[in-house]
């Protein structure tokens, strides 16, 4: 049962525990709160449980160790606290299952539990001495302009308590675009803040209709209201300048302030985007465990569109090289078109794809081994051998990319799956981060390209269309 990426709020109902024939349960990327229900121990057949990217708190119930068929567990990016249960399948889960819960301790995490104080509930999320903009979620829902109605919803999260603001950038980019549409140019205004963190940037296809900050919503009436400006303060937080607070302005209203004030007892430095009657359609800046700096993309003057004469047909070639998806580090590589793909070796370790290597069969019947793209420190190598005699061939790939644990600036391929005309292989790695997929309709994958270093930083495909 997959109920992920909805807008569910409230607690997980106990009655879910009565669905004892469930094999897969996915409540990820919602707004669920409260404790993990003890009734989930009754899901005795379950093999995959994903409650990630919610606001669940309290301890992980020890009763869940009785789920002996559980092979995939993802509780990351919640507000869970206390010791991680041990025993049975729980002894097989890695850090990725618990990442982003600052109050958790015990194996497999490096944070040791104190015998004399194990927290019974979530620690305070807004400590008095820490009012920086590091403790809230930001969700943006976009609308498309072309038809005048909302044509797609895309959600982006900055979960600053996890130190992974890449969630914001990557998730909104799944449905959005990083380039302006053909009838407008863009003007960059800013940035304000410090020089720390990693660069991020996002431009919407349409306009911003909703912004969620912490537990509240800013709803913009897109039929007559649009975002025109932001203002706020930045301040020195232990030697590092970060964005301290923000206001949002539309042509009709003002929203805010959001964030803290007077970090370390000092007054922040104010900033503001000059008010103009031009819409803000995107954001950019720097971030890691805080919003270090922020700027905006504002609509520029309209560019005239030259109409195409009736009767003229424009032939557009479909792309033959798709991607790559992932980070921008590592050295570029390209296998080119070496022949049909016969075997794929996927090197995986610590919830990341370390490398990929392929065997191609040439027209003369010989096999050609590609270079290994990535590092050699993986703990497991998965070998996918396509059935040549049954005319099996690769039609597409999907996966996830995101920052490695402990370094929000290094984004790599976290997971990859391979689809053929006969079925699916994978996933290999941890399905955490930003989803990507190659076109699979009437396409045949005939090669790979990407970037790699110590890890597989990015991957793309060469395709042929039938």
Q: What SS3 string covers 89-118?
A: HHHHCCHHHCCCCCEEECCCCCCCCECCEC
Residue 377 inside a domain? The answer is yes
- Give a yes or no: residue 455 inside a domain: yes
Highest mean pLDDT among 151-155, 170-174, 315-319: 315-319
CATH number at residue 99: 3.80.10.10
Instruction: Pick from 177-191, 309-323, 386-400 the range whose average pLDDT is largest.
Output: 386-400
Phi, psi dihedral angles at 51 (to 5 degrees): -115, 20
Task: Note whether 270 and 333 are same-domain residues.
Answer: no
The answer to whether the Cα torsion of 128, 95, 111, 119 is positive or negative is: positive
The answer to whether 1 and 19 are in contact (CB under 8 A) is: yes
As a whole number, mean pLDDT of residues 61-72 equals 90
Residue 185 lies in a domain: yes
The predicted model scores a pTM of: 0.46
Residues 149 and 285 in one domain: yes
In a domain, 213, yes or no: yes
Q: Is residue 130 part of a domain?
A: no
C-alpha of 440 from chain center? 22
Examine the fold and report which residue of 254, 270, 302 is the final residue of a domain before the chain moves on. 302
DSSP string covering 208-247, please? EEEEEETTEEEE--TTT--EEEEEEEEEEETTEEEEEEEE
Indicate if 369 and 255 belong to the same structural domain: no
**130 HSE (CA, 13 A, CB side):** 11
Do 165 and 79 sit in the same domain of this protein?
no
**Shared-domain flag, residues 297 and 332:** no
Residue identified by tokens 């005939």 is: 446
Q: Which of 54, 87, 105 is the last residue of a domain?
A: 105
Residue 142: give its domain's CATH number: 2.100.10.30
Q: Is residue 80 part of a domain?
A: yes
Same domain, 36 and 71: yes
Rounded to 5°, angle at Cα 239 from 237 and 244: 25
Same domain, 349 and 417: yes
Residue 316 lies in a domain: no
pLDDT, greater one: 314 or 394: 394
Is residue 274 domain-resident?
yes
**What tens digit of pLDDT does each residue of 263-301 get?**
566 778 898 887 777 788 888 888 777 788 898 888 765
- Considering the domain architecture, whether residues 295 and 331 belong to the same structural domain is answered as no
Burial (CB count within 10 angstroms: exposed 0-12, middle 13-18, buried 19+), residue 274: exposed
What is the pLDDT at residue 331?
93
Closest by CA to 235, choosing from 268, 260, 266, 193, is: 268
Domain boundary among 302, 332, 356: 302
Which 3 state secondary structure label does DSSP give 63?
A: helix
Query: What distance in Å separates the CA atoms of residue 334 and residue 272, rounded to the nearest whole number?
Result: 45
Same domain membership, residue 453 and residue 390: yes
Are both 333 and 436 inside the same structural domain? yes
Report the pLDDT value the prediction gives residue 420, as an integer from 0 to 100.
Answer: 86
Task: Judge if 327 and 454 occupy the same domain.
Answer: yes
Q: How far is CA 140 from CA 158, 186, 229, 312, in A?
A: 10, 19, 16, 40
206 and 335 co-located in one domain = no
Domain count, the chain: 3
* 268 vs 246: CA distance, rounded Å: 12
Whether 163 shows a pLDDT value over 50: the answer reads no
DSSP E strands, 194-339: 198-203, 207-213, 216-219, 227-237, 240-250, 254-259, 269-272, 280-287, 291-302, 321-326, 331-334
Range of the structural domain that residue 50 is part of: 9-105
């Amino acid at each position: 049962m997959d109920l992920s990426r909805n807008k569910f709020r409230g607690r997980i109902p106990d009655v879910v525990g009565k669905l004892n024939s469930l094999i897969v349960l996915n409540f990820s990327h919602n707004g669920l709160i409260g404790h993990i229900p003890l009734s989930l121990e009754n899901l005795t057949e379950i093999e995959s449980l994903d409650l990630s990217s919610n606001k669940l708190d309290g301890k992980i119930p020890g009763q869940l160790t009785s789920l002996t068929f559980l092979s995939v567990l993802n509780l990351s990016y919640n507000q869970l606290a206390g010791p991680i249960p041990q025993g049975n399948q729980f002894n097989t889960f890695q850090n990725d299952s618990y990442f982003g819960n600052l109050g958790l301790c015990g194996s497999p995490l490096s944070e040791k539990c104190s015998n004399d104080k194990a927290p019974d509930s979530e620690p305070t999320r807004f400590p008095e001495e820490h009012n920086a903009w590091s403790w809230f979620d930001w969700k943006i829902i976009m609308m498309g302009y072309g038809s005048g109605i909302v044509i797609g919803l895309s959600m982006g999260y900055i979960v600053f308590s996890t130190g992974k603001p890449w969630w914001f950038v990557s998730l909104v980019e799944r449905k959005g675009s990083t380039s302006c549409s053909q009838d407008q140019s863009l003007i960059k205004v800013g940035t304000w803040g410090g020089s720390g963190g990693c660069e991020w940037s996002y431009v919407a296809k349409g306009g911003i209709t909703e912004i969620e900050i912490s537990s509240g919503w800013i709803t913009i009436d897109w039929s007559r209201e649009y975002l025109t400006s932001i203002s706020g303060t930045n301040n020195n937080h232990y030697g590092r300048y970060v964005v301290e607070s923000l206001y949002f302005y539309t042509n009709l209203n003002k929203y805010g302030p959001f964030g803290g004030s007077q970090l370390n007892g000092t007054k922040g430095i104010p900033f503001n985007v000059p008010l103009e009657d031009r819409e803000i359609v995107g954001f950019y800046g720097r971030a890691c465990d805080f919003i270090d700096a922020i700027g905006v993309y504002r609509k520029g003057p309209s560019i005239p569109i030259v109409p195409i004469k009736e009767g003229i047909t424009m032939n557009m070639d479909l792309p033959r090289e798709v991607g790559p998806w992932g980070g921008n580090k590592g050295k570029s590589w390209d296998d080119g078109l070496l022949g049909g793909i016969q075997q794929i070796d996927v090197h995986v370790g610590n919830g990341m794809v370390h490398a990929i290597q392929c065997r191609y069969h040439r027209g003369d019947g010989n096999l050609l081994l590609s270079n290994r793209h990535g590092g050699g420190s993986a703990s497991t190598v998965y070998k996918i051998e396509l059935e040549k005699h049954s005319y099996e061939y690769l039609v597409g790939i999907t996966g996830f990319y995101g920052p490695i644990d402990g370094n929000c600036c290094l984004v790599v391929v976290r997971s990859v799956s391979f689809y053929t005309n006969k079925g699916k292989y994978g996933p290999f790695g941890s399905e955490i981060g930003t989803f990507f997929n190659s076109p699979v309709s009437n396409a045949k994958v005939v090669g790979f390209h990407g970037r790699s270093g110590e890890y597989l930083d990015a991957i793309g495909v060469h395709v042929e269309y039938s």
